[in-house]
Structure 1
């Protein structure tokens, strides 16, 4: 594979998953660690991504203050609009992080009364703009890659919550493998979030569909809502129609 093709592949992975691990790229591209290291350095020098230990992050994922480079922004806005009706007055809501969730927070009704627990400092900052919303930031270790808090302290706090609704993004969703992730710690965090919530909604751009990662988070049957930018009648969603899962 030519260098240009490798760079395009790396950037597609970055756009879809917000982050990439060097070890995964070595395996996916069948090249050496040195080659991936040089590729990431060149993409960093051309201002296309942020380098971190063991891989790279999307520029749009780095902060919610500068969101000019958010990937698939219009699709994420559509997902946010479709998710809003799930949020009702007085709810206790548990959220993950990521640019789609942040976009949803920006579109909440101005006078909403609700309580939000979140593992994302950037989501908390967006929620702080709403006068009638109570915001509780879950504490713990902070993941440089995922931009959320994690670890035993975060899991213990979440396990004590009884949320009405869990709002979660995903790196990958597959009709047979369900929700999956690449990070062991984040995988356990997401499992706990789902267990602590009466209902759950997964927000996902269609480009992340039909993708499976190493670690299973949950089966489709354990999710209540799947929200994409596609029309609910789109043929691509047919294989995701399982019992108890409502597609928006």
Structure 2
């Protein structure tokens, strides 16, 4: 940013970052907007008081990310996430063992799974587990541990230890940031450790990402793109926006 933005412009920028990445850190926003952290904290308090975000330690998260089943919470890019979910459904076969992360795209997927699918699901997300349990032919295991209030998934050593004993056919993960240069990235160190353990437990990795998250980078690396077998966006696979990913050894859906 080359100029100081008005408060309304800062709020608009903050909301877009939260909508795309689910979570923002005060330190990052201070650097991006070139204002003090005290200013950012006041901005986040105003947005929280207005019911637009939820404040968490060191930043804020989106309300729809934290309360996805609340009819008053609008899911950002919901149509795109539904399109992604429909594509991922084509990868799911009877008798597969599948491991999932959390997030609103994963909840859209859980809602779309046909009742005829017979499979076993492990998930680190209690919210995803609830939606999966609606389907009569799915066996659902929730991998418990400390609940991350900012990511709504279980984290910590107990989760990582449990994942080390699991071998699954397919791991489904949402991306917080994804780029050819930096790979898949995230902003939460504890979540990164769990995601790495999830990837290690899977034969194949499928990453679900709205196009807005592509070519963006968060603070901490999850994995290089060569570990990803499927990259699923709402875009058609031949979209020019995916040109940077086309030469990689992965399937674009």
TM-score (norm 1): 0.97
Tell me the residue number matched to 2:131: 126
Tell me the residue number matched to 1:14: 18
Tell me the residue number matched to 2:58: 54
For the residues of structure 2 that align with 1:47 and 1:177, how far apart are their CA atoms? 34
The within-5 A match list for 1:1-248 is 1-66=5-70, 68-248=73-253
Q: Does the 8 Å CA contact 1:220/1:240 hold for their aligned counterparts? A: no
* Structural RMSD (CA): 1.0
Query: 1:240 Cα deviation (Å)?
Result: 0.8
For the residues of structure 2 that align with 1:160 and 1:63, how far apart are their CA atoms? 31
Query: 1:41 Cα deviation (Å)?
Result: 1.1
Q: Does the 8 Å CA contact 1:63/1:122 hold for their aligned counterparts? A: no
Structure 1: gaps spanning 5 or more residues: none
- Please give the per-residue CA displacement for 1:113-169, whole angstroms capped at 9, x wherever unaligned: 111000000000001101111110001111000000001100010111100000000
For the residues of structure 2 that align with 1:175 and 1:5, how far apart are their CA atoms? 30
2:90 partner SS? helix
The runs of 4+ residues in structure 1 deviating greater than 3 Å are none
- Please give the per-residue CA displacement for 1:164-202, whole angstroms capped at 9, x wherever unaligned: 000000111001111011111111111111111001100
For the residues of structure 2 that align with 1:207 and 1:33, how far apart are their CA atoms? 26
TM-score (norm 2): 0.95
Between 224-233 and 20-29, the greater mean CA deviation after superposition: 20-29
Structure 2: gaps spanning 5 or more residues: none
2:216 partner SS? coil
For the residues of structure 2 that align with 1:198 and 1:63, how far apart are their CA atoms? 32
